[in-house]
Amino acid sequence: MNILCVGDVVGSSGCEFLRERLPALKKLKGIDLCIVNGENSADGNGITHNSATHLLDSGADVITTGNHSFRRKESFQMYDTWETLLRPANYPPAAPGKGFCVVDLGRVQVGVINLMGTMYLESLESPFEKLDRILREPNLPKICVLDFHAEATGEKRALGFYADGRLTAMFGTHTHVPTADECVLPKGTGYITDAGMTGTIDSVLGVKPEIIIRRYITKMPARFDLASGPCRMDCVIFTADEATGLCTGVERLSLT
Ligand code: FE2
């Protein structure tokens, strides 16, 4: 089976581009399940009812998030009630929502896990320990995919090797920059440090470059207006062996 993982969708331009490209890509590549990181899908970060609905209507089966999970108050209740909207599993249990779900595709079930890194981000429970606990859950599907939303490449690669042979695939998100290290790890887990971004190409992580440049020079706060212009959709396709639950192939794509 083929599992498509799409890098952070940024703002309305990213959402619209996803809608333009995703349905045809799913058809072309025979995608069985699509996971989209949507934590920046609302203009101004976070996720709203509108942006989440747009992602699902465009073909996302599961939406993952990260450090901007709870940026919008209106999303709190959605995390508690939408079965396939995840926030990182290593947030405190008192936070709304959950970080793991199972999608029933009929002939096969797929587990989707969302975790967040702790290097240069909020100090949450160790993603390594939380992953161990999730993987000890009874009745865990053979096929499980992890979105590890993290800043540090070292932390991401370390978790990838830690999970090797125990997950079908792990893809990183958050940096909005795709990495060229997609592979099947030695024990059979598909891996990429960062899937990249779905949004405006000429931008700094989706934001107008001049705003970010000014911020670095002046160190003054600024409103992060989103850039506009041609977009790109970065994504990765993992091919999974349903018998073993391991990955047999990885393909990284950037659609313009
Ligand atoms: Fe993020």
Cα separation, 190 vs 5, in Å, equals: 12
| CA-only gyration radius of the chain, Å | 17
Structure tokens at 142: 């053979």
Contact 250, 182 (CB under 8 A): yes
The mean of the pLDDT values for the chain is 97
Contact 127, 118 (CB under 8 A): yes
CA 149 – ligand 1 centroid, Å: 6
Cα separation, 111 vs 23, in Å, equals: 22
What mean pLDDT is predicted for residues 189-204? Answer: 97
9 bridge partner residues = 198
* Nearest CA among 189, 143, 140, 142 for reference residue 164: 189
Confidence of residue 3 (pLDDT cuts 50, 70, 90): very high
The residue type of 181 is D
Q: What is the pLDDT of residue 44?
A: 87
104 bridge partner residues = 109
pTM for the predicted model, two decimal places: 0.96
What mean pLDDT is predicted for residues 214-238? Answer: 95
* Nearest CA among 15, 21, 87 for reference residue 52: 15
Q: What is the pLDDT of residue 184?
A: 98
CA 46 – ligand 1 centroid, Å: 9
Q: What is the pLDDT of residue 244?
A: 97
**How many domains does the chain contain in total?**
1
Confidence of residue 170 (pLDDT cuts 50, 70, 90): very high
CATH number at residue 27: 3.60.21.10
Ramachandran class of 245: left when φ > 0, alpha when ψ lies in -120 to 50, beta otherwise: left
CA 39 – ligand 1 centroid, Å: 7
pLDDT at 168 over 90: yes
Count the neighbouring beta carbons within 10 Å of the beta carbon of residue 198. 34
Q: What is the pLDDT of residue 176?
A: 97
Q: What is the pLDDT of residue 87?
A: 98
* Nearest CA among 197, 204, 209 for reference residue 40: 197
Q: What are the start-end ranges of the H helices in the chain?
A: 11-29, 49-58, 75-81, 127-135, 153-163, 209-218
Confidence of residue 1 (pLDDT cuts 50, 70, 90): very high
Active site residue 68: yes
Q: What is the pLDDT of residue 248?
A: 98
CA 128 – ligand 1 centroid, Å: 19
3-state class (DSSP) for residue 236: strand
Confidence of residue 146 (pLDDT cuts 50, 70, 90): very high
CA 61 – ligand 1 centroid, Å: 20
List the domain range (segments joined by +) for residue 169. 2-255
What mean pLDDT is predicted for residues 239-250? Answer: 98
Q: What is the pLDDT of residue 34?
A: 98
CA 134 – ligand 1 centroid, Å: 22
Confidence of residue 118 (pLDDT cuts 50, 70, 90): very high
Question: Cβ contacts of residue 23 below 8 Å, gap of 6+?
Answer: 58, 59
DSSP, res 227: P
Exposed/middle/buried for residue 100 (C-beta within 10 Å: 0-12, 13-18, 19+): middle
Percent of all residues in the chain with a pLDDT value above 90, rounded to a whole number: 97
Phi first, then psi: give them for residue 78, nearest 5 degrees. Answer: -60, -40
DSSP, res 204: B
Confidence of residue 187 (pLDDT cuts 50, 70, 90): very high
pLDDT in tens, 21-74: 999 999 999 999 999 999 999 998 999 999 999 999 999 999 999 999 999 999
Q: Which of 54, 68, 174, 176 is catalytic?
A: 68
What mean pLDDT is predicted for residues 116-120? Answer: 97
pLDDT at 100 over 90: yes
Cα separation, 100 vs 177, in Å, equals: 25
Phi first, then psi: give them for residue 191, nearest 5 degrees. Answer: -150, 145
